[in-house]
Amino acid sequence: MFTNRYIFIYSSVMVIIVAAILSTAAMVLKPYQERNIAIAKIQGILIAADIESTTENAETLFDQVILEELVIDQDGKVTGRYSKGQLTEGDDRAFDLNLKKELYNKRQGNPYKVPLYMAEADGEEIYIIPLLGTGLWGPIYGNIALKADKNTIYGAEFGNDKETPGLGAEISERNFALQFLGKTLFNQKGDFVSITVKKGGVETMPADNRIHGVDAISGGTITSDAVTKMLENCLGNYVAYFKSQL
Amino acid sequence: MSSEKTEREPLFSPKYRKLITTPLGRENPITVQVLGICSALAVTAKLEPAFVMALSVMVVMGVGNVVIAALRNTIPPRIRIIVQLVVIAALVILVDQVLKAFAYDVSKQLSVFVGLIITNCIIMGRFEAFAMANKVWPSFLDGIGNAWGYGWILIVVAFFRELLGSGTIWGYGVIPQSWYIDNGGFYANNGMMILPPMALITVGVIIWVQRKRDTELIEEN
């Protein structure tokens, strides 16, 4: 028979041992995991710029391709500039900004900063904007690259952590992202309209709006709507900056 | 473990081999015991996650059964379920962390499913029904056997769901593009196959085939 005393000691010891094993594992593995996350972030940016990379060459490619990293504040002013391994303006590097924290600040009505990457492709400048939003079950994220006109989409890439496989998680598929190519963010009057992920397909939209829409994922309506929301929320942060540049 | 095997049966005696083979067929956790159905529905829309899920379950079950069997005489019966749960949860978190560190791409595809292993009733079922009452080595074989029994059903279901639902196998297109109606052909993917209910129907078909071939499985009443 087991006494209560035994049971208490047994469970305490068990919990302490398990906690020790798990925290050791977490600590030992953390550097590897963080590196993987940073590389995944780099690869996402590169895919939006239409560059395939492997885990090994992602960082070198990134240094070659990205000409400048800008930090943009809520009023569209550049508060940080980083290029060729050096900070030339301000004191944040755009790559190190925590987008989740900045978007939280935005929701709270506090000052916030967002990153913008500049690269060169096919002889012209492109602007890469990282995205972050809330899907159905967890975070969704991505990158949108704009052509030099700061309006037409050059490349796109999306990812998710917990969306339903085969349904919402299809946003991570290349075919979904390819729909964005050539779409525009601003209408002819120059107003920001973002991109709508349209349930039922682009053809159900008014003809002159189709340039601002892509097809939603069948069976993944909530995730598709979340992508629309994410695009509007994240791309909107750059409108003031882009207008000041035109 | 080594002392056990010298005085008792050899490592792969017929009795021990049966621990591996019966869960593949006659005592299959999914088709006969109808356990672990929830994850079988969730992870089988594509072949790759189904495969990695099967592999992860095998690790958790093999190691978990060994741990529980080694501790079986020290576990107070009143808190045995809690102890089993702690062992499963710890192993699953460990598997998840290791995948995140060394197989990041796979872990990204699996994030939800790895967590789901904790709620997989097969694992707790085997701890409770087998590992609590048996030695370490047979428990290990039983864990591996049941994980395989679970895994092969997952892979078969995922194969058909991915083939008929998305027209791909392991992410590679196998249906010629020219067959599709969009391209002037006659074929369309069956979107219903990627919805969870079709996993249940596919499992049902496997159960049907299995009972047709092995009539002893049919209950009488």
Structure tokens at A125: 């400048």
Parallel, antiparallel, or unpaired for β A153-160 and A139-146? antiparallel
Structure tokens at B69: 């069997």
pTM: 0.77
Strands (E), A65-123: 66-73, 78-83, 86-89, 113-121
Rounded to whole angstroms, the Cα distance separating B14 from A89 reads: 74
**Short-list A143, A145, A151, A212, CA closest to A172:** A143
> Residue A11: its pLDDT value, please?
93
Nearest CA in chain A to B79: A7
User: Residues of B with CB below 8 A from A175's CB?
Assistant: none
Q: Which residue has the higher pLDDT, A85 or B127?
A: B127
How far does the CA of residue A11 sit from the closest CA of chain B (Å)?
A: 8
| A150-191: pLDDT as tens digits | 999 999 999 988 888 778 888 988 889 999 999 999 998 889
| Helix axes of B136-166 and B14-21: crossing angle, nearest 10 degrees | 30
> Residue A111: its pLDDT value, please?
92
| pLDDT beneath 50, residues of chain A | none
> Residue B8: its pLDDT value, please?
63
Q: Does B79 touch chain A (CB under 8 A)?
A: yes
Parallel, antiparallel, or unpaired for β A153-160 and B172-173? unpaired
How far does the CA of residue B96 sit from the closest CA of chain A (Å)?
A: 10
Rounded to whole angstroms, the Cα distance separating A89 from A91 reads: 7
Task: Check CB contact under 8 Å for A162 and B112.
Answer: yes
How many of the other CB atoms lie within 10 Å of CB of A195? 22
Whether pLDDT at B125 is above 50: yes
> Residue B114: its pLDDT value, please?
83
> Residue B111: its pLDDT value, please?
63
pLDDT band per the 50, 70, 90 thresholds, residue B44: confident
- CA distances to A133, A164, A222, A230, A232 from A225, rounded to whole Å, are 11, 14, 5, 9, 11
ipTM of the complex: 0.75
> Residue B1: its pLDDT value, please?
45
Q: Tell me which of A14, A23, A203 to substitute to probe the interface with B (most B C-beta atoms closer than 10 Å).
A: A14
pLDDT band per the 50, 70, 90 thresholds, residue B5: very low
| B162-203: pLDDT as tens digits | 999 888 888 788 888 888 887 888 888 888 888 888 889 999
* Pick from A29, A37, A138: CB nearest B98: A29
How many of the other CB atoms lie within 10 Å of CB of A92? 17
Give me chain B's average pLDDT, please.
86
The B residues from 157 to 176 touching A (CB cutoff 8 Å) are: 165-166
How big is chain B by its Cα radius of gyration, in Å? 20
> Residue B7: its pLDDT value, please?
58
User: Residues of B with CB below 8 A from A56's CB?
Assistant: none
> Residue B22: its pLDDT value, please?
87
